[in-house]
Amino acid sequence: MTFINQLSMIPGVLVTQNELLKFEASISGRIIYATDRDYDEARAVWNGMIDRYPEIIVQCATAQDVVKCVNFVREHDIHFAVRGGGHNVAGSSVCDGGMVIDLSQMKQIFVNPQSRIARAEGGVTWGELDTTTQKYGLATPGGVVSDTGIAGLTLGGGFGWLRNKYGLSCDNLVAVEMVLADGRHVRASKDENVDLFWAARGGGGAVGIVTAFEYRLHPVGPEVMFAFVLHPASNARDALRFFRSYVETAPDEVSAMAVLGRVPHTDAFPAAQHGKPYVLFGAMFTGPVDEGERILQPLRDYSTPIVDFSGVMPFTEVQTMWDEDYPSGEMRYYWKSTYLNKLSEGAMDLLIERAYHAASEHSTIDIWHIGGAVKRIPTTASAFANREANFLIGVEANWERRIDDNCNISWTRNLLEDLQPFANGSAYLNFPGLMEGGESFLKKIFRSNYPRMIDIKEKYDPDNLFRLGPIEKYREDRS
């Protein structure tokens, strides 16, 4: 028996040479080791703060590859991470040592325009899915940046520009195909493996690896009215009051957010405004463009804007509007969140004061309005538990240099702590910081659904093979 260091940094893991060779031969995708030329590219994730060195990266080509990986890591007690689009802020799709089960090359998409259903494999990004479904004038609710993976975003919930009209990404799942801890590859829907389907919608991949997602599609675009306007923050409180009253009466067709930040130093903005505080109103109208123009106009007319990028544009363009602001691998990111039932005066004051004194000029505070279809789904219908709040607050620290890590992370944590008197005590799984907080963080995510999540975990994954959280935590737990 040979001790193969490459395969695990956990002491005591034994894999024979034969077993490894047999495993390699069974995989139809690609296997990448540290000695391969593209190893660094394959291990890199979106957050530049994350720098981890897996021993083996298996770029799966098929669901059967995923099955073989799951069986291999379980049988040999090898720790692992699962990768979709690689955009998790905590970097939970890559691990130090062990194996990355990487689905990013699984890119098949099928659209059935008659039944209005799309089936997309686990490595698809939102840009790829939107471009394909838009060929038929259809779309499903996704995120607001196109290179984010459908996998992680959908499994954790999924807030985007279609949410108030059609719900979260996970609300639009019709079925998933997933690999369970025991290696079975099953389909889950409202009629099959109902409890797995429940846990897949908001459970963040805690019960298995999803190899394919089936989404309900809706007629969208191809052109939509989109408001994207930066107002000066000279009276930011008044601007947020205006936003609050606007969304209170806006129809479900409007999914809106307000963002507090500072004007980027790029040519897209007037030089005199660079670095100055802004209040951004962003909103998409899911419906006829002329009606959208009328209904979104007040967001544009609120003041004399710094810049107004609003207009009638292709839905696919709306979906890429923020892409440039979130470069992959270059910047360091730490994002956390909480939910507010109401945007009180105290909460607004705190958000304004902190936004414009952030440690980095790239950081923002995002106020997502939640309404319409998201709220009509009962909390017990799926693992996603936070539906009653009216606002999701995303606190995004975005910065450039390692030396600034501590002050940016502290800025986010301090604000979250100070927001607690105004908040409802919960958090969004997909804005997880570094997934610190362990069980108390998970309780904030699943809230009243936590006991059912635990029951389903015990039924399908009693040894907790699929852990929510970074691999370091896994090691700590084992030692």
Ligand X SMILES: Cc1cc2nc3c(=O)[nH]c(=O)nc-3n(C[C@H](O)[C@H](O)[C@H](O)COP(=O)(O)OP(=O)(O)OC[C@H]3O[C@@H](n4cnc5c(N)ncnc54)[C@H](O)[C@@H]3O)c2cc1C
Site residues, ligand X (CB under 6 A): 46, 81-89, 92-93, 103, 122, 143-145, 148-149, 151-153, 155-160, 205, 209-210, 326, 430
Q: Among 223, 282, 287, which residue's Cα sits nearest to residue 247?
A: 282
Residue 392 pairs in a beta bridge with 339, 368
Nearest residue to ligand X, using CB? Answer: 152
Least spacing, CB of residue 292 vs ligand X, in Å = 20
184-202 in b/e burial notation, b at 16+ Cβ within 10 A?
A: ebeebbeeebeebbbbbbb
Nearer to ligand X, 202 or 277 (CB): 202
Least spacing, CB of residue 205 vs ligand X, in Å = 2
User: What is the Cα–Cα distance from 80 to 435, expressed in whole angstroms?
Assistant: 16
Nearer to ligand X, 285 or 326 (CB): 326
Pairing of strands 307-308, 30-33: unpaired
Least spacing, CB of residue 6 vs ligand X, in Å = 21
Least spacing, CB of residue 359 vs ligand X, in Å = 19
Give start and end residues of each alpha helix (H) in 97-220: 126-134, 150-156, 163-166, 194-200
Nearer to ligand X, 19 or 325 (CB): 325
Give 230's Cβ-side CA count (13 Å radius): 17
Q: Exposed, middle or buried by CB within 10 Å (0-12, 13-18, 19+), for 478?
A: exposed
User: What is the Cα–Cα distance from 269 to 212, expressed in whole angstroms?
Assistant: 41
| Residue 474 neighbours by CB under 8 Å, 6+ apart | 79, 467
Nearer to ligand X, 20 or 205 (CB): 205
Q: CB of 181 within 8 A of CB of 458?
A: no
Nearer to ligand X, 210 or 465 (CB): 210
Least spacing, CB of residue 145 vs ligand X, in Å = 4
Least spacing, CB of residue 249 vs ligand X, in Å = 24
Q: Which residue has the tokens 């240099």?
A: 401
Nearer to ligand X, 81 or 434 (CB): 81
Q: Which two tokens stand for residue 309?
A: 């990028």
Nearer to ligand X, 141 or 221 (CB): 141
Phi, psi angles (nearest 5°) of residue 36: -80, 150
| Residue 22 neighbours by CB under 8 Å, 6+ apart | none
Q: Among 29, 60, 215, which residue's Cα sits nearest to residue 123?
A: 60
Least spacing, CB of residue 206 vs ligand X, in Å = 8
Least spacing, CB of residue 122 vs ligand X, in Å = 4
Nearer to ligand X, 242 or 461 (CB): 461
Least spacing, CB of residue 271 vs ligand X, in Å = 26
Task: Report how far apart the first and last C-alpha atoms of the chain are (Å, whole number).
Answer: 24
Least spacing, CB of residue 158 vs ligand X, in Å = 5
Nearer to ligand X, 20 or 140 (CB): 140
User: What is the Cα–Cα distance from 125 to 217, expressed in whole angstroms?
Assistant: 16
Q: Among 110, 320, 365, which residue's Cα sits nearest to residue 217?
A: 110
Least spacing, CB of residue 403 vs ligand X, in Å = 22
SS3 state at 292: helix
Q: CB of 422 within 8 A of CB of 347?
A: yes
Pairing of strands 254-262, 311-314: unpaired
Nearer to ligand X, 63 or 233 (CB): 63
Nearer to ligand X, 160 or 242 (CB): 160
User: What is the Cα–Cα distance from 263 to 304, expressed in whole angstroms?
Assistant: 15
Q: Which amino acid is present at 43?
A: R
Torsion angle in degrees (nearest 10) through CA of 461, 467, 472, 473: -90
Nearer to ligand X, 8 or 47 (CB): 47
Least spacing, CB of residue 75 vs ligand X, in Å = 20
